[in-house]
Amino acid sequence: MTDDPKVRLVHISGKVQGVSFRIWTKTQAQRLGLTGWVRNEDDGSVTALIAGQDAAVSRMLKQFWNGPVGASVSRVVSEQASLDEAPTDFRITR
């Protein structure tokens, strides 16, 4: 069914910590009507779970390549995830 939410687990690498990447992600996700979460990882990367309509998820995946001012994204890798993992809002975790 085309109305089913699309859910992606996304790993973003590069200069993505210390540049408000998580706050930027939450703002962009909320503007697109997405739910999920974003967190910093110990290796300096950022991981996000995004869930929503296909077009909004696709747009967010493209926006990850730009990030906020000061970010320098070198890699964005996404994989399918389960809707069971997504909260009903968008959160910054850890």
Global pTM value: 0.93
CB atoms within 10 A of CB 43: 8
* Residue 1 lies inside a defined structural domain of this protein: no
Q: Say which of 39, 40, 59, 91 is annotated catalytic.
A: 40
Give the Å distances, CA to CA, from 3 to 30, 52, 55. 19, 9, 11
**Total of domains in the chain:** 1
Q: Which CATH number does the domain housing residue 82 bear?
A: 3.30.70.100
pLDDT digits (tens, 9 = 90+) for 41-78: 999 999 999 999 999 999 999 999 999 999 999 999 99
Q: Which of 22, 31, 39, 94 is catalytic?
A: 22
Active site residue 40: yes
The answer as to whether 66 is a domain residue is yes
More confident residue, 75 or 87: 75
Helix (H) or strand (E) holding 33: none
Model pLDDT, residue 84: 87
Instruction: Give the range of the structural domain holding residue 83, as residue numbers without chain letter.
Output: 6-92
Q: What is the pLDDT of residues 6-50, one digit of tens each?
A: 999 999 999 999 999 999 999 999 999 999 999 999 999 999 999
